[in-house]
Structure 1
Amino acid sequence: MVGTLDGSLGQLFLVTTPLPLANLLGLLNGVAGFVDAEVDQVLSLVGGLNVVPTPLDPTLMSDRTPMVYPAGSTTTAWNSYVNQPAAGVVEVQTAQSDFHVTGTGIVGDIDTGVDPNHSVLKGVLLPGYDFTRNQPGASEMNDLPSGFPTPSCTTTCSGPAQVNQSTAAVLDQSTAAVLDTQQYAAFGHGTMVMGIIHLVAPTAELLPLKSFKSDGTGNLSDILRAIYYAVQEGKANVINMSFDLKTSSTELKNALDYANQLGLTCVASAGNDGAQEIVYPAALQTDVMGVASVGSTTATDGTRSSFSNYGNSVVWVAAPGEQIVTTYPFSAYAAGWGTSFSAPFVSGGGALLHALRSAITESESATATANAAPLTPTGMGHGRLDLVPALQSLAGGGGGNPDYTVSVSPLSQTIAAGQTATFTLSTAPANGFNQTVTWSCMGAPAGATCSVSPSMLTLDGTHTATATVTLTTTARSMVSLPNLPRASPLRLPSYAWALRLACVVVLAALLGFCGQKWSSELRLRPAKTAAVVALSLCACSCGGGSGGGGPGPPALYSITLNPSTVTGGATATGEVTLNQLAPNGGASISLSSNSAAATVPASVTVTAGEASATFTVGTGSVATSTPVTITGSYGGVTKTSTLTVMPVSSGGTPAGTYSLTLTGTSGNLSHSTTVQLIVN
Structure 2
Amino acid sequence: MRKLSVLLLGLMAAVAPAAAQTSSALPSFLLRANPADAPFIAARHNLTIVSQVTDASGVTMYLVTPVVDNPGLATELNGDLAVMAFERNHVVGIPESIRPRLMQSTAAILEALPDRTIVPYYGRSVWRGYANQPAAVLINTPAVHALPVTGGGVVAIIDTGIDVNHPALVGAFVPGYDFVRQQATVTSDLAGVSQSTAAILEAQVVGEPFRAALVNQSTAAILEQSTAAILEASGLPAAFGHGTMVAGLVRLVAPTARIMPLTAFAPDGSGDVFNVVRAIYYAVDHGANVINMSFSLADWSAELVRAVNYANEHDVICVASAGNNGEETLVFPSAFRHVVGVGSSNNLDLRSTFSNFGNGLVYLAAPGESLITPFPAGRYAAVSGTSFSAALVSGAAALIEQVKPGIEPTNAQEALSCAKRIGQDMGSGRLDLLSALLRALK
Q: TM-score range by the shorter chain?
A: 0.7 to 0.9
Whole-angstrom distance in 1 between the partners of 2:289 and 2:81: 37
More helix by share: 2
How big is the shift at 1:10? 4.8
- Amino-acid identity (%): 40
The residue that corresponds to 1:162 in the other structure is 214
- Contact (CA 8 Å) 1:52, 1:165: kept in 2 or not? no
How big is the shift at 1:195? 0.1
Residue identity matched to 1:35: M
* 1:152 correspondence with 2:204: yes
Residue identity matched to 1:389: S
The residue that corresponds to 1:245 in the other structure is 297
Whole-angstrom distance in 2 between the partners of 1:216 and 1:326: 18
Aligned counterpart in structure 2 of residue 14 of structure 1, from 37, 59, 63: 63
Whole-angstrom distance in 1 between the partners of 2:111 and 2:137: 18
Query: 1:200 and 1:27, CA in 2 relative to 1: closer, same or farther beyond 3 A?
Result: closer
The structure whose RCO (Cα within 8 Å, separation 6+) is larger is 2
Aligned partner of residue 163 in structure 1, secondary structure: strand
* 1:81 correspondence with 2:123: no
The residue that corresponds to 2:274 in the other structure is 221
The residue that corresponds to 1:360 in the other structure is 407
The residue that corresponds to 1:294 in the other structure is 345
Whole-angstrom distance in 2 between the partners of 1:52 and 1:353: 31
Whole-angstrom distance in 1 between the partners of 2:174 and 2:234: 30
Aligned counterpart in structure 2 of residue 314 of structure 1, from 361, 369, 373: 361
How big is the shift at 1:95? 1.1
Whole-angstrom distance in 1 between the partners of 2:70 and 2:52: 21
Query: 1:315 and 1:222, CA in 2 relative to 1: closer, same or farther beyond 3 A?
Result: same
More strand by share: 1
Aligned counterpart in structure 1 of residue 386 of structure 2, from 310, 316, 339: 339
Aligned counterpart in structure 1 of residue 318 of structure 2, from 244, 266, 270: 266
Whole-angstrom distance in 2 between the partners of 1:207 and 1:312: 30
The residue that corresponds to 1:193 in the other structure is 246
Residue identity matched to 1:197: V
Whole-angstrom distance in 2 between the partners of 1:55 and 1:27: 53
* 1:395 correspondence with 2:441: yes
- Contact (CA 8 Å) 1:124, 1:205: kept in 2 or not? yes
- Contact (CA 8 Å) 2:160, 2:243: kept in 1 or not? yes
The residue that corresponds to 1:128 in the other structure is 176
Query: 1:106 and 1:164, CA in 2 relative to 1: closer, same or farther beyond 3 A?
Result: same
- Contact (CA 8 Å) 1:52, 1:167: kept in 2 or not? no
Aligned partner of residue 367 in structure 1, secondary structure: helix
Whole-angstrom distance in 1 between the partners of 2:226 and 2:295: 29
How big is the shift at 1:52? 4.9
How big is the shift at 1:268? 0.6
Whole-angstrom distance in 1 between the partners of 2:353 and 2:144: 29
Whole-angstrom distance in 2 between the partners of 1:153 and 1:256: 45
Aligned counterpart in structure 1 of residue 140 of structure 2, from 73, 91, 98: 91
How big is the shift at 1:219? 1.5
Whole-angstrom distance in 1 between the partners of 2:117 and 2:227: 24
How big is the shift at 1:29? 3.3
The residue that corresponds to 1:54 in the other structure is 105
How big is the shift at 1:245? 1.6
Query: Please, what TM-score do these two structures have when normalized by structure 1?
Result: 0.54
Whole-angstrom distance in 2 between the partners of 1:235 and 1:119: 25
The residue that corresponds to 2:32 in the other structure is none
The residue that corresponds to 2:43 in the other structure is none
| Aligned positions of 1:493-504 closer than 5 A | none
Aligned counterpart in structure 1 of residue 429 of structure 2, from 357, 371, 383: 383
The residue that corresponds to 1:411 in the other structure is none
Residue identity matched to 1:215: D
Whole-angstrom distance in 2 between the partners of 1:191 and 1:240: 13
Gaps of at least 5 residues in structure 1 are 397-680
Deviations 1:361-393 (A, max 9, x none): 111110000000121x22010011000010001
Whole-angstrom distance in 2 between the partners of 1:213 and 1:151: 23
Query: 1:27 and 1:248, CA in 2 relative to 1: closer, same or farther beyond 3 A?
Result: closer
| Aligned positions of 1:19-34 closer than 5 A | 19-20=69-70, 22-23=72-73, 25-27=75-77, 29-32=79-82, 34=83
* Number of residue pairs the alignment of both structures matches: 384
Whole-angstrom distance in 2 between the partners of 1:152 and 1:170: 12
- Contact (CA 8 Å) 1:114, 1:141: kept in 2 or not? no
Aligned partner of residue 246 in structure 1, secondary structure: coil
How big is the shift at 1:192? 0.3
How big is the shift at 1:6? 4.8
* 1:36 correspondence with 2:85: yes
Query: 1:134 and 1:124, CA in 2 relative to 1: closer, same or farther beyond 3 A?
Result: same
| Aligned positions of 1:543-582 closer than 5 A | none
Query: 1:125 and 1:278, CA in 2 relative to 1: closer, same or farther beyond 3 A?
Result: same
Deviations 1:108-159 (A, max 9, x none): 1111110121011011123421111111122123212234322316674422
- Contact (CA 8 Å) 2:117, 2:128: kept in 1 or not? yes
Q: Which has the larger radius of gyration?
A: 1
How big is the shift at 1:54? 3.2
Deviations 1:277-301 (A, max 9, x none): 11111110x21001111113xxx1x
